[in-house]
Structure 1
């Protein structure tokens, strides 16, 4: 009887051979046990009972129904029905160890048993060897989420995926180890915990890059064309030699581009290979090229152009017959995708409304290595803006945004206006400049219309300054509030305080600073669109300062001896249209009143009296920096301002020459210790009276110039050269240069407090205001060069590192002025801008020169920039 059973099993196995192979591939077994039977080949049976056994959470009825083995069904055993049942159960990806047994045969009725187990579900996942922030990406990429069915195939695919992923990033020695641990608890569902151990090892470096087949271009030139893949060179700083596969593949294309730039349009990479060296830390790259032959441009014909003549298009293309063929340059002159405002033919058409135009260069002949080109142009209909909308502005009111847009419904499409609109929104400072996106919706080439949608993301635009410190003999506290998207019309609306009325683009600032010895209060307000129709900015400010004299006996402030300054200013700034609309003309009138009461110091020679400063300031500026005001990548920003007082000496009938001569004579008496005290005191009092007359109304003129340039050297690496100059002069030399409005050079430039209108000029590597005389300079110049590179420009935090070289100095007169006699410094720094804290920064500067009056170079200084934003 046992022999007959074995024969039946053999027959079933032979008949279902192809299904057994499938079962082997999927780690399932298929076996059938039966009672003694005389049959040696398949026979038809009626299916009786079907039972289910094994470790499963699914009901018996569900499994039987899904398998298709329904009671009463006629089927051949062995045959396709049982094989199909195994396939269906396996394809569900819910089970493993699927086996079907014949448990009993009653005549023509066969009873079956399905024995299987549920695939285990993933309970917990632990990933070791990578940073916490990278784990979520691994989970999303591999699908290793809680509840996922865990199979050997899943584990193998995960290992392969991770190994391949890190190899592409240059980690050729990555090791992946995955362990699963059964979860033993009261829950019947099979579950496992998975531990993924990732050992990336170190990135391999490129030991050598070798070329073969190149005769025209040397190995050195080809290596230079590979911008991101460099061989080991200990003297290289900006580019590392670590191998990254994606960068390498991009560099292979750069090699071909280099040949195309030199006329070898048929150049190609025949093969490339990577060899891991014996040290397992370096690789060698071998690249075989076929250079082909050099070509030149022949006739260049424009076809399909109606809007522009051949001459106009040739002026933009700037390629002539006989020029060495340059496929890269040709593509850039037709459509330079690296610059949205490039001077190319595509932008020429798109800035004139031809949004739907297409421009294709076609080679029509290449005889004798001379390439005749046809520039085939399909102009299409001019496009007009149909709808223009903005989404994403939760705080800023629509009218503030729409007034900045250069695109209007019904207006002819212009790419230049779209790019400019994005820049203007970024420059507002209310939105994350990196997230502003112009979206083209519902393009209709037949009707020539397009819908324009600008997507923005609000960011913190108001600031609070909270600072405390010790200086000047006591604690100094500062509270400053700056609301940069204020709405003054909603100031009396309770529901508008979230936490303050916002959305109209106005700026309001309040600042209070106090210590035992001084108090300052200031208020300023500006409306960028006075009247709401034109970009005319109105601004006003009020300030009041109290300074108390130090009492050396009580070591406290003597409030009976004080120096007060009260100031007010009103200004207008208008955007110009010529030479272009990046220019702004600003004008302001300001008045400061200085009141001294028993305040005898070296600042003035009189301790009681007052002085007045009525001045007019006019400025011309131009700012076309690109989009992000935190991290500009291109453009320039310059400003020139002139500040004038009324030339009182022309009409007040005061003989300042005589006063100067008298004052000089009195100074000799005051400084002559051999004279009687009464005579010296009387002379000193007279000097004070003369100075009271000289400074009753301040008379001066002041010129300032500043220019910044931004140039993107390679992607995101930005060079920023800067230059500054300032001069304070007098209309009447006998009256002299006033002791106010002077320049103090050195340090971080964040002079938070001053009585006399001084300007603090940053020059890192030296202490604050250390490079000017005690009374300040009347001339200064400064030159700096910064190299910036972003670490991240995300909305949550914009972080960039910088290196700098700079030099500057201040001078007391043009007789002393020498623009090349400057104090030099260099250093490194970092800037962090977060909506919650504003701009934070630290610089480490090394001063190469000695401070005035010293002989040893200053050395290292640390400078901080601190603010807070909400």
Structure 2
């Protein structure tokens, strides 16, 4: 039992005497609310029952732990009492204040959001001096990166009178002026001129981001100065010297100083060294490929400039690099080390040391993310299957095929390759991001005939098997999963126009081979206006002429009151198609064949050579297509071309009719009957060629892309007296199939001119061409894709194939934008200016707006 006299309250512990060994009898914590005591005492490292010395290092170390933790502004540890050999400790703490509000002064809203992320100070968090110092450093670096080298940042802290132990931070920023480069001073450069280092107006220099302000040569270049840009450009300068053979080039010194509040000067001194050449190249360790073949791919021969950049590209970067010879044959573990084994004067001997390693086969090929598409539909597109030799070429081709399916985010179709060094195999993971590519269309417009409405549905992931209940467990609301396409649409103006279409297609007919199969049907009816409409129009035009309002042409009236159901054209058609992927010349080629039948039913229809009766069109189309683009929505590289011919039976060769004298006299009583007989079965041969190429101007993901297009078509006849009244070319405008004049014709766009104005009524197109240069730039890529474009375009159409002249062009230029939305498809708008006159030289294209919906122009 302890006596009362053994207890000492608030003992005086002095460092003058000898330390005393005691046991901690208890620990009390005060000054902190909202925290459990065991958490706070745990920070100290002290525990009840622990032997310590008074005075001693244990208490000192405990105080250090609290300070290191950073949560406290005051820390005291005192002995409340000593009872025999036991000490009872009292730990007094004061929490650092929390941030109740942050005010950013001197910044725009967008800059404030960026600063919040950069500084790392959050509302409700505790604030420390180190955090404030760090925030100042990060903030200054943020503005330096943006070109504000002299920016000042001050962070003021004041108590929040409305909240206990909370503070308000005022982040005061004076960005000052954005720094630009006044002069670039280069010393020591004899082999590389200032122009080749700095660059000119139309010439790229070694410096990519550092340019002088106020110079004509840098008019189109950024003049902003940041330390990171300067550091990167110094490295680019050395790389440029190395590329030209100066392998010893080095930077002896550089400096940057302020000239005025807006400008800096930069100075750099280089030592170029001498220029080196390749003398000998030897290959060591190669057993799969002989040295001559490897040297051919390397393209560095005796006497070549020692270009280190080119050597790296030829060894590993280019598509036809040396390393890809190995990667495409399973040697995924191989690597090549270029070694300089001898330097004599300005000549270097290179030894390419190759480690080939074993051939690797694919072990696992995993697919993830295909939430709406059956795995077998994805897997059949792959060129990478378990058990196959690893091939980089097959891997890249698989990525292209998956992207071109249209079911996944094309920007994220990237293989995850994982070599297994333990067993010499490779795993490939395809982490896909499914997107909805079904499209619903509902549109309304207004024309002379009133409201025009269209409703359409396109299912790009349709499943015919699920429709008939083969996979009832996976059927769901819509029969989807097999990647087939079902499209149906209705377009109508009620009285004047009706159109219905239904089509189905699959790229894997039978699910075993890449065989395309399609079938479709359509019906349309177009009705004309009565003769009173034209009589009224001519009367108004004549009155305008008399009173000086107009000198020629119709003054068109609204169609609503002139509907004539006895004037119409009806079209009923069916088609079936078959296609196959070819292996020669390469497997980007496809061959397709389509058999089509169309029946035209006309009554008092004034817009074709045939005005009354029925006509039949039975034709066979054969097309060769090659598509190697890397992306459906925004191709950066690759090409597309199609060559096709559509041919009907040459009925006139064996039916024995005299077409020269048939249906030529319009005033003849038998004219209508002869006309129907002449066009009962139409005949023609139709030839078309389309080509587009895509070239990325840089290697960046967001880059300018140059698209070029060449397109031409000819509609020929077997008998010059029996030219086809249908399948002609209707050219001009946006190129979208409308229901104005383009019935039973093929619409061809040429921006800068009104729809169909290059082949107006009475001048049906039997030949056309079109040439385009288009520069594109993406603003957004992914499920939603947006890109802008500017273009120059030229083309024309002719009423006679003999008049075809590719140099007789109607020219235009303009700008536009395209937006792809998953549920809507492609939309766009172009403004174009047509420079040339058309229709017998009477009218000029001028400025035109064109709207694009549901198709690539």
What is the TM-score of this pair, normalised by structure 1? 0.85
- Rounded Cα–Cα distance in structure 2 between residues aligned with 1:279 and 1:767: 55
Cα offset, 1:191, TM superposition? 4.2
What are the Cα deviations for residues 772-807 of structure 1, in whole angstroms up to 9, with x where unaligned? 232432111111111122223234x22222221111
Contact 2:463 2:484 (C-alpha < 8 Å) held by counterparts = yes
Contact 1:486 1:501 (C-alpha < 8 Å) held by counterparts = yes
Distance 1:314 1:264, change over 3 A: same
What are the Cα deviations for residues 470-511 of structure 1, in whole angstroms up to 9, with x where unaligned? 013210000111111111111255765655222201111001
- Rounded Cα–Cα distance in structure 1 between residues aligned with 2:721 and 2:362: 65
Distance 1:113 1:374, change over 3 A: same
1:558 aligns with 2:536: no
2:275 aligned residue (294, 297, 315) = 294
- Rounded Cα–Cα distance in structure 1 between residues aligned with 2:295 and 2:629: 30
| Residues 616-765 of structure 1 mapped to structure 2, 5 A cutoff | 616-626=620-630, 628-659=631-662, 663=664, 666=665, 683=667, 685-715=669-699, 716-735=703-722, 737-753=723-739, 756-765=743-752
Contact 2:414 2:431 (C-alpha < 8 Å) held by counterparts = yes
2:490 aligned residue (490, 512, 517) = 512
| Residues 526-605 of structure 1 mapped to structure 2, 5 A cutoff | 526-551=505-530, 552=532, 555-597=561-603, 599-604=604-609
Q: Which moved more, 1:146-155 or 1:579-588?
A: 146-155
What are the Cα deviations for residues 57-97 of structure 1, in whole angstroms up to 9, with x where unaligned? 44667545643567898866665344323212112222112
Distance 1:792 1:290, change over 3 A: farther
Contact 2:832 2:849 (C-alpha < 8 Å) held by counterparts = yes
DSSP 3-state at the match of 2:676: helix
Cα offset, 1:721, TM superposition? 1.2
1:347 aligns with 2:353: no
- Rounded Cα–Cα distance in structure 2 between residues aligned with 1:133 and 1:486: 44
- Rounded Cα–Cα distance in structure 1 between residues aligned with 2:623 and 2:427: 39
- Rounded Cα–Cα distance in structure 1 between residues aligned with 2:176 and 2:377: 53
1:164 aligned residue (132, 141, 158) = 141
Q: Which moved more, 1:101-110 or 1:290-299?
A: 101-110
2:360 aligned residue (365, 372, 383) = 383
1:613 matched residue in structure 2: 617
1:470 matched residue in structure 2: 446
Cα offset, 1:724, TM superposition? 0.7
Contact 1:42 1:76 (C-alpha < 8 Å) held by counterparts = no
- Rounded Cα–Cα distance in structure 2 between residues aligned with 1:567 and 1:164: 68
- Rounded Cα–Cα distance in structure 2 between residues aligned with 1:298 and 1:257: 21
Cα offset, 1:855, TM superposition? 6.1
2:251 matched residue in structure 1: 269
Contact 2:440 2:823 (C-alpha < 8 Å) held by counterparts = no
1:150 aligned residue (105, 111, 127) = 127
DSSP 3-state at the match of 1:265: coil
Distance 1:806 1:499, change over 3 A: farther
Distance 1:159 1:492, change over 3 A: farther
DSSP 3-state at the match of 1:250: helix
- Rounded Cα–Cα distance in structure 2 between residues aligned with 1:440 and 1:842: 41
- Rounded Cα–Cα distance in structure 1 between residues aligned with 2:349 and 2:410: 44
Cα offset, 1:199, TM superposition? 6.4
Contact 1:380 1:445 (C-alpha < 8 Å) held by counterparts = no
1:25 matched residue in structure 2: none
Distance 1:156 1:40, change over 3 A: closer
- Rounded Cα–Cα distance in structure 2 between residues aligned with 1:390 and 1:218: 54
Distance 1:53 1:455, change over 3 A: closer
Contact 1:316 1:345 (C-alpha < 8 Å) held by counterparts = yes
What are the Cα deviations for residues 510-542 of structure 1, in whole angstroms up to 9, with x where unaligned? 010000301000001101111111111001110
- Rounded Cα–Cα distance in structure 1 between residues aligned with 2:386 and 2:30: 71
- Rounded Cα–Cα distance in structure 2 between residues aligned with 1:581 and 1:177: 64
- Rounded Cα–Cα distance in structure 1 between residues aligned with 2:633 and 2:219: 25
- Rounded Cα–Cα distance in structure 2 between residues aligned with 1:556 and 1:841: 34
**Structure 1 gap ranges (5+):** 1-32, 668-682
Q: Which moved more, 1:786-795 or 1:237-246?
A: 237-246
Contact 1:466 1:868 (C-alpha < 8 Å) held by counterparts = no
Distance 1:80 1:563, change over 3 A: same
Distance 1:376 1:36, change over 3 A: closer
DSSP 3-state at the match of 1:421: helix
1:457 matched residue in structure 2: 433
1:782 aligns with 2:770: yes
1:211 matched residue in structure 2: 186
What are the Cα deviations for residues 200-219 of structure 1, in whole angstroms up to 9, with x where unaligned? 67753334333211000101
- Rounded Cα–Cα distance in structure 2 between residues aligned with 1:126 and 1:491: 61
Cα offset, 1:247, TM superposition? 4.3
Cα offset, 1:398, TM superposition? 0.9
Distance 1:773 1:857, change over 3 A: closer
Cα offset, 1:192, TM superposition? 4.5
1:792 matched residue in structure 2: 780
Contact 2:730 2:742 (C-alpha < 8 Å) held by counterparts = no
Cα offset, 1:706, TM superposition? 0.8
What are the Cα deviations for residues 650-676 of structure 1, in whole angstroms up to 9, with x where unaligned? 00000112337xx1xx35xxxxxxxxx
**Structure 2 gap ranges (5+):** 1-8, 199-204, 534-559
Contact 1:788 1:800 (C-alpha < 8 Å) held by counterparts = yes
DSSP 3-state at the match of 1:313: helix
- Rounded Cα–Cα distance in structure 2 between residues aligned with 1:590 and 1:449: 51
- Rounded Cα–Cα distance in structure 1 between residues aligned with 2:518 and 2:237: 56
- Rounded Cα–Cα distance in structure 2 between residues aligned with 1:421 and 1:132: 44
Contact 1:397 1:503 (C-alpha < 8 Å) held by counterparts = yes
Distance 1:499 1:837, change over 3 A: farther
Distance 1:601 1:350, change over 3 A: same
2:549 matched residue in structure 1: none
Cα offset, 1:288, TM superposition? 2.0
- Rounded Cα–Cα distance in structure 1 between residues aligned with 2:432 and 2:38: 55
Distance 1:76 1:266, change over 3 A: same
Contact 1:809 1:821 (C-alpha < 8 Å) held by counterparts = yes
- Rounded Cα–Cα distance in structure 2 between residues aligned with 1:405 and 1:48: 72
Distance 1:231 1:752, change over 3 A: farther
- Rounded Cα–Cα distance in structure 1 between residues aligned with 2:147 and 2:394: 43
- Rounded Cα–Cα distance in structure 2 between residues aligned with 1:767 and 1:777: 15
Q: Give the count of matched residue pairs.
A: 804
2:789 matched residue in structure 1: 802
Q: Which moved more, 1:363-372 or 1:716-725?
A: 716-725
2:757 matched residue in structure 1: 770
Distance 1:382 1:655, change over 3 A: same
Distance 1:592 1:132, change over 3 A: farther
1:28 matched residue in structure 2: none
Q: Which moved more, 1:475-484 or 1:815-824?
A: 815-824
What is the TM-score of this pair, normalised by structure 2? 0.87
- Rounded Cα–Cα distance in structure 2 between residues aligned with 1:198 and 1:426: 47
- Rounded Cα–Cα distance in structure 1 between residues aligned with 2:47 and 2:514: 81
- Rounded Cα–Cα distance in structure 2 between residues aligned with 1:815 and 1:261: 55
